[in-house]
Structure 1
C-alpha cells in the first residue's frame, strides 16, 4: 500500500500546487517549487549494547527518516531505518544513487524547498501528533519499527486524501514539530552541496529574492 500511496500524484509535476496558487506570498515567486525535503528523528527501541550509533541529541536512540512532502502535506517519498547519528549527506546521497528507491527527482525547471520553517515541519508535526507509537516505540525488532514508520506515513496520506475534515490537519498551523531547532537537518547539507557546485541554484535563489523585493515595493 505504501508504494501506491507515498508517491507523487503526478511524477511530472505539471501543475502548480493549489496551496501555491492560492497564496500571494508564494505566487509567482515559488510557482516552480514542487515540495520540501527534510530529515526527522523517530524514537527507536534498540538493545543497550547496540545503541551508540542510534543515540540522538536528546540522549535516546532514534532512527533517522528522510522525507519529501508536497504542499498538501502529503508524503511523496520516505526513506526510513537509518541510525540516528547517520550524516544527512550520507542519507541523501544514498537515496540519489539507488535507483531502486525511485526518488521523485524534480523535472527541469522545478525544485524542492529545503527549509525547517516550510510545510514539511507542519507535516511532521501532524504525523507525530496523531501516532503516539512514534513517540514511544515498543520493543519490536528494528525491521518492524521501520515498517511502523512507513505504515503511519501511508495512513497519514490516506487520511489527507479521503477525510472530509480532520482535527489534526485542521490544527496543523498550531502544531510545531519536536525536531525544529534540534537537528542538523538535511537542508543544511543540501545548501552546502549547492554552494559547492551548483551555480544554477544560486541564480535561482537570487531571482526569487529579487522577485520578492520587487513585489514588496
Structure 2
C-alpha cells in the first residue's frame, strides 16, 4: 500500500512539473512573438529605408511643365496652362482646396489630372511625384471631393426656360430655321473603369472591357447641362434614359412644350426627343464600311463627272458649236466640188 501511495505522489509531481514547463514554454513563445512584432514595427516605421529618393520631386515636375512649352502642359495635364492656373484658383477660392506643409495646390491638381488623363495607378503616381501611396491617395481624394462640388455648379442650365435660340443655330444657314426649337443633344458614352474582379461582370458589355455607360446632355455651345454616371457597361441606353427623365431627384432638364432634344438612335423617338431616321446612316464608321450614299437623280453625275444634263447652258453651247462645225464642213465641200468641176472643164476644153 505504501509503494502504491509513493507511486501516485511521484506521478502527480511529474504532471505538475510538465504543466509548469508548458506554461514556461508558452510564456517564452509570447515574449519571442512580441519581440518579433516590436522589431518589425521598429524597422518598418522607425528606421525604414526611404523608397522615393529622386531629386526630381513632384512640385519641381509640375513647375517645370507649367513653365515649359505649352504643348507639354496639354500632353501631361490635358489642358492649357491658363486653364490649369484658373482651375487651381477656382478650387482654392470657391471650394477651399488648400495647400499642406509639403504639397502645393498645383501639385495636388497635377496628381489628380495626370492620374485621370493617363490612367495612372497609385504606384505610377508615387514614382512620378515621389510621394508615398497614402499621400497620393489622400490628395487625389481631396481634389476629387472639391471637383465633384464644382461639377454640381457648372453642369447646369443657364436658361432654364429655353427662351433664347442659340447663336450657333441662329447664325448658321444650315440650321436656321430648321432647328430653331432644338435645345441640345443627348447621347451615351462608355468610359473604361478599373474595378474589383469579383464585380466586373455587370460592367463588361459590348466593348469587351469593364466600362461605365454615361449619359450626357449638352447644348449648342458644347456645355454639359446634365450628366449621369455610374451605370454598368451592360445597361442599355434606353433604360438609363427612361430612368433619368422619370426620377425627380435627378432634376433632369425636361424640354418645354414646342422644344426638343436631338437623341441617338438608341433612345426612343417621342415628344420632346427627336431621333434620326431609321435605316439611315449617320455615324462616320457606317460610311467607311459601306459604299458612299447615292441618289438616283445624281447617279449620272457620279458615273461621269463630265456629264451635262439636257437643256443646260453648256449643252446648248455645245449644240451651237456642233452646228457651226457642220455648216463649215458643208461649205468646204461645195467649194471643193466647184473647184473640181472647173479643173475638169479646162482639161477637156
TM-score normalised by L of structure 1 = 0.55
Deviations 1:10-46, CA, capped at 9 Å, x for gaps: 0101000010011101000000000000111111111
Q: Which runs of 5+ in 2 are unaligned?
A: 1-149, 278-349
Work out whether 1:189 is the aligned partner of 2:282: no
- In the TM superposition, what is the alpha-carbon distance from 1:190 to its structure 2 partner? 1.6
Indicate the residue corresponding to 1:39 in structure 2. Answer: 188
Match of 1:171 in 2: none
Listed as ranges, the matches of 1:8-19 within 5 Å are: 8-19=157-168
1:103 to 252, 255, 279: 252
For residues 74 and 93 of structure 1, the distance between their equivalents in structure 2, rounded to whole angstroms, comes to: 22
Q: Which residue of 2 aligns with 1:88?
A: 237
* CA pair 90-104 structure 1, distance change in 2 beyond 3 A: same
Aligned twin of 1:71: 220
Instruction: Check conservation: 2:262, 2:273, Cα contact below 8 A.
Output: no
List aligned pairs for 1:64-213, cutoff 5 A. Answer: 64-115=213-264, 187-191=265-269, 194=270
Residues in 1 aligned to 2:208 and 2:241: alpha-carbon distance in whole angstroms: 24
Bigger share in strand: 1
Partner of 1:52: 201
Q: Normalised by the size of structure 2, how large is the TM-score?
A: 0.34
Q: Residue 189 of structure 1: CA displacement?
A: 2.6
| Structure 1 outlier segments of 4+, above 2 Å | none
Query: SS of the residue aligned with 1:12?
Result: coil
CA distance in structure 2 between the aligned counterparts of 1:189 and 1:33, rounded to whole angstroms: 16
Higher helix share goes to which structure? 2
Number of residue equivalences: 126
CA contact (8 A) 2:261 2:273 kept: no
Larger radius of gyration: 2
**CA displacement at 1:201 relative to structure 2:** 7.1
Deviations 1:31-74 (A, max 9, x none): 00000001111111111121111013231100011100000111
**What do you get for the CA RMSD once the two structures are aligned?**
1.9
- Structure 2 CA distance, aligned partners of 1:201 and 1:86? 20
Structure 1 stretches of 5 or more lacking a match? 116-186, 206-217
